[in-house]
Amino acid sequence: MNKSNIMLICASPRHKGTSAMLLERVQVVTGGKIFFLPQRGSLDELVLAMQKAGTIIISGPCYINTYPARLIELLELASIKGNFSGQKLYGIINGGMPYIHTHQHGLICLKLFAEQNHLSWQGGFVLGIGAMLDGKPLEKHMNRKRIVPAFDKFIRNIVEGVQSPNSLYEEAQPPPGKLTTRIFTKFLTFLVVNNLKKYGHDPEAPNYYLRKQEEDKINGSH
Amino acid sequence: MILIISDDNRGNWGPTLEEAMHLSETEIVRFSADALQIKPCAACNSCSGKTFGRCIIQDDMQLLLPKIAVCRSLVLVSPVVFGSVSHHIKKVMDRMAALGDPRYRVKDGEIVKGMSRVGMNYYMVGIGDNLNEAECSAFLHLHQENRKIMSVKGQTFILDSRLNRVSLNNIVQEIIHE
C-alpha cells in the first residue's frame, strides 16, 4: 500500500462525530489525507483527488437507511467525470440502530458505484449503535469487545489491500435479543423525551408544521 | 392530498405521473426537487431538540415540509442512482427527519421509529433503463427499510422508458386507491 496515495473522505457534515472518529482510527494506521465533504459549493476538486488516489476510504453516517445526500451528489458527479482506473474503494457507514440491515444500503450503493465506474470495490464496515458514540473512541461502544477487534481487522485488510468480507462486521454485531431490545427501546426513548422536556417540548404534541397550519387556519378565519 | 416530489433532471416522470392522476378526486400537488433550492441536512439535531419538529434551515424545504406533514400519500420519483435515489430526492428524504417521531418502539421484534403523524402512505418510483438485478434489488431494499423505520405503508415501483400507458395507469390506481 502506498501511504501517500490514500484518500479518506468523511461524508458527515460533523467534523467531530463518529464518522470522523472512525476515519481517524483508520488514518493512524494507513496514513493518507482526510477530506471533509464540503456541504456547499463545487465538488470538482474532490473528484479530481479521487481520480488521482490509489485507495479511497469513505466514512459516513446513515441518514434514512443510507449515506447522506451530499455523498450521493459526489458519487453522481464522479460518475459523470469518470476517469477512474481500478482505484480500491472501501466504505464505512454508522447509524443509531443496532441492526446491520438498517444501514447496509450505503455499502451496496458504494459497491454499485465502483462496479459502474471502473473502481475496485474492496468491502466495508457497518457499525450499529454508532450515533451514541457521538465521536467518542470505539472503545466506548456498548459492544466494544466484539466491535474493536473486528474494526481493527478491517483496517488491517485496508493496509494489506485485500477484500474485507461482510462477515467481519456481521459476526461482530448479532441482532439484540428480545429483552435487550425492550430495554434499549425504553432507554433510548427516555433519553430523547428527557432532551425534549429540557427544551420545554411535549413529545405527544402534534408536529410543528401541523400546528402552524392549524393556527394559520384559525387566524385566517377571524 | 397526494404529494409528488420528483427529480425531473433526467426525464419528465413527475409531470407524467401527475397527468396520469388528474382524473383522481384527490388533490394532487407536485414539486420538482431539482428545481428547488434545498440544502443538505446539517445534522444539527435541532429538530429533535431545541426546535422540536421544525427544521431551522431556511430554504425551499420549508415549502415541502408543511405539505409532507399533511399529505395522505407521499410519492418520491427519482432516477435510480447506484441502487439509491438521486441526490435531489435524497436531500428531501434526509430533511424529512423533522417530521419523524423521535421516540422508539418495538415492532416485529425490532426497534423502529415512526412519523409524527400516523397514517401517511409512502411510495417510491424509481426510473431507469436497463437496470440490472443488483440495482433494482438495492432500490427495493432501500424503500423497504425506509417503510420499516418510518412505520408507514407503501410500495416501490421501478419504471423504464419502454413503459406503456397501461402499466403507468396500474401504478396510478395503486396510489390513488390506497
pLDDT tens digits, one per residue of B66-123:
999 999 999 999 999 999 999 999 999 999 999 999 999 999 999 999 998 888 999 9
Query: Is the backbone of residue B154 left (phi > 0), alpha (psi -120 to 50) or beta?
Result: left
pLDDT tens sequence across B29-51: 999 999 999 999 999 999 999 99
Question: What's the predicted TM-score (pTM) here?
Answer: 0.96
Residue A198 CB burial class (10 angstroms; 0-12, 13-18, ≥19):
exposed
Contact A154, A120 (CB under 8 A): no
The mean pLDDT value for A122-151 works out to 96
Q: In chain A, what are the domain boundaries? A: 3-173, 179-221
In angstroms, the CA A62 to CA A126 distance is 10
Q: Is the pLDDT of residue A165 over 70?
A: yes
CATH number for the domain spanning B30: value is 3.40.50.360
pLDDT at residue B163 tops 70: no
For chain B, what is the domain count?
A: 1
Distance CA A4, CA A7 (A): 8
A3-173 fold: Rossmann fold (3.40.50)
Q: Which chain B residue has the Cα nearest residue A41?
A: B39
Smallest CA–CA distance, residue A92 to chain B, in Å, is 17
Q: Do the chains contact at A206 and B117, CB–CB below 8 Å?
A: yes
Which residue of chain B is at minimal alpha-carbon distance from A205? B116
pLDDT at A59: 98
Asked if A110 reaches chain B (Cβ–Cβ under 8 Å), the answer is yes
Q: Does A148 touch chain B (CB under 8 A)?
A: no
Which residue range(s) make up the domain with B28? Answer: 2-177
Q: Is A184 on the interface with B (CB under 8 A)?
A: yes
Of the pLDDT bands very low, low, confident and very high (cuts 50, 70, 90), residue B167 is confident
Cell of A86: 481500478
